[in-house]
Amino acid sequence: MKPKAKPKTEKKSRLSLLHQYYSYTGFYSFVGKSVLKALPYIIAVVVAIFVVNRFFNLNEALTRVTETLPVYGVLIFFFVSETLLGLVPPELFIAWAGKLNQPWVYLGILAFLSYFGGLLTYYIGVFITKIPRVHRYLEEKMQKQLKNSKKWGGFLIVVGALLPLPFSISCLAAGIINFPFKGVVAYGSLRLLRFVIYGLVIFNVV
């Protein structure tokens, strides 16, 4: 008599296993809570920019800066902007590069300046944690949040690198939570890809 065949078990797809892992480890909950916590600040920044722009045309002012400063001056201005929270949209500088004689060369320079600006901001975050009052607050009040942030810090850096959000803020947060620097270097390199994609789009418009 032939032994009964074992019932076939369907192998879970990689996507299904990934979803199961994220569910068990609390990834979705972490992302949801992070978005909710950040939402008031994002709204506040958007409102502030809207109010300022109502009285001062920021786009016109920034365009005037790129037209007035020499090339090296624009690059320095961009690097400082990308290091200090990156509140000036890089798309403006990409459009500026598109009007130069060697647009892709200057796009590459902008991409690396943005990338290295983020890496520098990481160390600013590390320095902030050395301030005694900040260090005590993080140790006493933010232990659980820091644990989750360290676990999913790579995701936050990827979001900052690819999406239209300030990349330096992600790197600053990575420095504060002491996320491994080599991880910031690896995940943050996607910032270069974003500039290539935006360049392909913007260069065909300007």
pLDDT score of 157: 82
Which tokens in the block code for residue 174? 């990575």
Q: What is the pLDDT of residue 134?
A: 65
Q: Which of 53, 86, 72 is nearest to 170 (CA)?
A: 86
pLDDT for the residue 117: 92
Q: Quick: pLDDT tens for 137-196.
A: 656 555 555 565 666 667 778 887 887 777 888 888 888 777 888 988 998 999 999 999
Cα 92 to Cα 112, 118, 164, 166, 170, distances in angstroms = 16, 18, 13, 14, 21
Region 25-43 average pLDDT: 58
pLDDT band at 8 (very low <50, low <70, confident <90, very high): very low
- Could you tell me how many residues make up the chain? 206
Give residue 35's pLDDT band: very low, low, confident or very high (50, 70, 90).
Answer: low
CA dihedral in degrees (139, 140, 141, 144; nearest 10)?
60
- State yes or no: pLDDT of 87 exceeds 60: yes
HSE at residue 75, side-chain half, CA atoms within 13 A, is: 15
Tokens of 52: 């300022």
Q: What is the DSSP letter of 34?
A: H
131 secondary structure, DSSP code = S
List the structure tokens of 200: 């392909």
